[in-house]
Copies of this chain bind each other. A is one copy, B any other.
Amino acid sequence: MTDTATDQRVESPATGTAITEWLADFERALAAEDVDAAVELFAVGCFWRDLVAFTWNIVTVEGHEGVRDLLGQSLHRVQPRGFAVADELGGEEVSGEAWIKFETSVGRGSGHLRLQDGKGWTLLTTLNELKGFEEAKSDRRPKGTEHGAVPNRETWLEQRRREAEELGTVTQPYALIVGGGQGGIALGARLRQLGVPTIIVDRNPRPGDAWRNRYKSLCLHDPVWYDHLPYIDFPPNWPVFSPKDKIADWLEMYTTVMELNYWGSTECRKATYDEKAKEWTVTVERDGKEMTLRPQQLVLATGMSGKPNLPKFEGMDRFKGEQHHSSRHPGPDAYRGKRAVVIGSNNSAHDICAALWEVGADVTMVQRTSTHVARSDSLMELALGALYSESAVASGMTTQKADLTFASVPYRLLHVFQVPVYDAIRERDADFYARLEKAGFMLDFGDDNSGLFMKYLRRGSGYYIDVGASELVARGEIKLESGVDVVRLTENTVVLSNGKELPADLVVYATGYGSMNGWAADLISPEVANKVGKVWGLGSNTTKDPGPWEGELRNMWKPTQQEALWFHGGNLHQSRHYSLYLALQLKARMEGIETPVYGLQEVHHLS
């Protein structure tokens, strides 16, 4: 319902004279292919973020030179036109800001414009749909049955069964998505709507199993308004924080009703790209049987949390208790009254410690480096509330507007917007933080105090959204060893760098996940993985996110240095929003639309 701006957009030509004048000037300059005139409309310190509409890339350019370069290389081909104000921003009206719409030679787009002293300060342009390949929805929805008399008609069920039978054997998918979590499923739904033959493979039997297999107390840490999939919103009775098995059921039903070709119990073994044939050869094992698929596009949607990072401590092979990575942790039931040591201090570590405490285990958390903690309630109210909350919905903030609003802030500026939010959280929860520190917990708010979401974008780790475990840490109910590392394991203890030796029946390694790039190395080759380089992160030159500045998340949802190889993933918000742009890129290629990539990223880091 909330997929493209055109769906809800109401024309309001009277909005802000400054904006409409700017757009008219911009349009004139573009029509005349007068790049200089167009550049002059922007402030010197401007940002233009384009999601596929102008660049067939996800890219942010900065300043006059950036705008000049982008337009110089794309204007003639893109033929942008029809710029107009398209609906005001929801909530309070802010002058000098507006939703905009436009079209190009091949598509229709929407975006957002902020002026500063009459000059363009931030411009967001996004592609909504390709002309001639609009999705079959709303007034274009399928009829469902062909009225009239059709000799030897094939029913919907017969068609659907035949397609499922033939795809991958008689016919080949255009796109293969490896990984059937929320990312692969959301992208699969977009591609199906665009008529791109696609198979999603996942090693687990049923959609949602990646959630079902996690520790039993897990609930989503993001609230429901942030988590909608494309096309079908969660209903109004859906919990704020979805229990893992409930979100799993939703993903499973979504896969069915969106008619996705989802191959469960299918392991992807090997993928090779034939540069001449422009085709992948992918070996998969489906229900134990080896098959070869020949897609033209390969999407790795194996997830930020797909490749467990298991540390190597001396003595792990000697340890007689139970030990596993957090991704394999089944939940606390088997550990009542047992002694557990959890290595790590981020989300999973906290969740697992709390659940173990709840069944009466003796739990110690080993905190090796500092962690950012933010209380769920505070995040909901101060960080997300304006865009993703019941009150935001009530005030007219649709999911699509919220996503675009979020996307409209250039990453270069995002931390500036975030610092005050976390300052406010720090003040509001000062007592909480003081008690945590008193218990010895090493806290941080990110290198530049910009908090949780920037940590997520920069490194995808380093934080805990507190839903109760911190209180147990502060009270000493969860024992804490902080500022230490593990020296070695013995048969029944964990020996720490501070000399302590912790008796343990269970050791959980809540030590995070490897780069998504590692999947490319395993599946394709280390050479291709190196060619593509590091995935995720902004180049912010902060901990675990080395510079230089990239402008966008590395390799996500956009062309990589390896032709026909794509990365998809992120949280539910990102999977929902960016799957649209990745799907449009794939569709354009399938239809033979010219897709010259502006600003293909360079590779600065391997992993």
Docked CA distance A237–B240 (Å): 26
Query: Which segment, of A123-131, A144-152, A308-316, faces chain B?
Result: A144-152
Of B141, B155, B224, B233, which contacts A237 at CB under 8 A? B141
Contact between B235 and A157, CB atoms less than 8 A apart: no
Contact between B240 and A231, CB atoms less than 8 A apart: no
| Interface: A232 (CB within 8 A) | yes
| Interface: A191 (CB within 8 A) | no
Contact between A359 and B152, CB atoms less than 8 A apart: yes
Docked CA distance A193–B237 (Å): 8
A544 to chain B, nearest CB (A): 28
Between A148, A355, A472, the greatest number of chain B beta carbons within 10 A of the residue's beta carbon is seen for A148
- With contacts A253-B256, A358-B151, A472-B149 taken as known, whether A237 is within 8 angstroms of B144 at the C-beta atoms is no
Query: Which segment, of A242-250, A439-447, A492-500, faces chain B?
Result: A242-250
Docked CA distance A231–B235 (Å): 6
| Interface: A236 (CB within 8 A) | yes
Contact between B141 and A236, CB atoms less than 8 A apart: yes
| Interface: A59 (CB within 8 A) | no
Docked CA distance A185–B438 (Å): 54
Docked CA distance A145–B250 (Å): 17
Contact between A358 and B477, CB atoms less than 8 A apart: no
| Interface: A135 (CB within 8 A) | yes
Query: Which segment, of A15-23, A463-471, A522-530, faces chain B?
Result: A463-471
**For residue A453, which residues in chain B have a CB less than 8 angstroms away from its CB?**
none
**For residue A193, which residues in chain B have a CB less than 8 angstroms away from its CB?**
237
Closest to A239 in B: B144
Docked CA distance A399–B565 (Å): 43
Among residues 112 to 138 in chain A, which have CB atoms less than 8 Å away from a CB atom of chain B? Answer: 135-138
Of B240, B252, B391, B394, which contacts A143 at CB under 8 A? B240
**For residue A157, which residues in chain B have a CB less than 8 angstroms away from its CB?**
216, 243, 245-246
| Interface: A153 (CB within 8 A) | yes
Among residues 456 to 513 in chain A, which have CB atoms less than 8 Å away from a CB atom of chain B? Answer: 467-469, 471-472, 477
Contact between B148 and A468, CB atoms less than 8 A apart: yes
| Interface: A376 (CB within 8 A) | yes
Chain A residues within 8 Å of chain B by Cβ, number: 71
| Interface: A156 (CB within 8 A) | yes
| Interface: A288 (CB within 8 A) | no
| Interface: A390 (CB within 8 A) | yes
Of B7, B143, B160, B237, which contacts A231 at CB under 8 A? B237
Closest to A7 in B: B236
Docked CA distance A147–B157 (Å): 44
Closest to A393 in B: B138
| Interface: A357 (CB within 8 A) | yes
| Interface: A94 (CB within 8 A) | no
Docked CA distance A3–B216 (Å): 33
Closest to A136 in B: B237
Docked CA distance A139–B241 (Å): 13
Contact between B358 and A240, CB atoms less than 8 A apart: no
Contact between B236 and A150, CB atoms less than 8 A apart: no
Contact between A243 and B471, CB atoms less than 8 A apart: no
A203 to chain B, nearest CB (A): 22
A467 to chain B, nearest CB (A): 4
| Interface: A420 (CB within 8 A) | no
Docked CA distance A242–B193 (Å): 17
Contact between B245 and A156, CB atoms less than 8 A apart: yes
Docked CA distance A154–B211 (Å): 17
| Interface: A514 (CB within 8 A) | no
**For residue A216, which residues in chain B have a CB less than 8 angstroms away from its CB?**
155, 157-158
**For residue A250, which residues in chain B have a CB less than 8 angstroms away from its CB?**
257
- With contacts A245-B156, A360-B151 taken as known, whether A138 is within 8 angstroms of B390 at the C-beta atoms is yes
- With contacts A216-B157, A253-B253, A357-B149 taken as known, whether A1 is within 8 angstroms of B236 at the C-beta atoms is yes
**For residue A237, which residues in chain B have a CB less than 8 angstroms away from its CB?**
135-137, 141-142, 193, 231, 258
A378 to chain B, nearest CB (A): 12
Of B135, B150, B253, B394, which contacts A358 at CB under 8 A? B150
A449 to chain B, nearest CB (A): 25
**For residue A147, which residues in chain B have a CB less than 8 angstroms away from its CB?**
376-377, 467-468
Contact with B along A200-241 (1 / 0, CB 8 A): 000000000000000011011000100000011101111111
Docked CA distance A136–B390 (Å): 13
| Interface: A343 (CB within 8 A) | no
A464 to chain B, nearest CB (A): 13
Docked CA distance A360–B150 (Å): 11
Docked CA distance A252–B252 (Å): 11
Contact between A238 and B141, CB atoms less than 8 A apart: yes
| Interface: A354 (CB within 8 A) | yes
Contact between A468 and B149, CB atoms less than 8 A apart: yes
- With contacts A1-B236, A468-B148 taken as known, whether A224 is within 8 angstroms of B141 at the C-beta atoms is yes
Which A-B residue pairs are the 9 nearest by beta carbons? A144-B239, A253-B253, A156-B243, A145-B219, A144-B241, A137-B236, A148-B468, A157-B245, A231-B235
Q: List 15 A-B contacts (CB under 8 A).
A: A141-B390, A142-B240, A143-B239, A144-B240, A144-B241, A144-B242, A145-B219, A145-B241, A155-B216, A157-B243, A193-B237, A231-B235, A246-B257, A249-B256, A253-B253
Point out residues on A near B: beta carbons under 8 Å.
1, 3, 7, 135-139, 141-145, 147-153, 155-158, 160, 193, 216-217, 219-220, 224, 231-233, 235-243, 245-246, 249-250, 252-254, 256-258, 354-355, 357-360, 376-377, 390-391, 393-394, 467-469, 471-472, 477
Given contacts A139-B391, A156-B219, A157-B246, 8 further A-B contacts (CB under 8 A): A3-B236, A137-B235, A142-B240, A144-B220, A145-B219, A147-B377, A152-B359, A253-B254
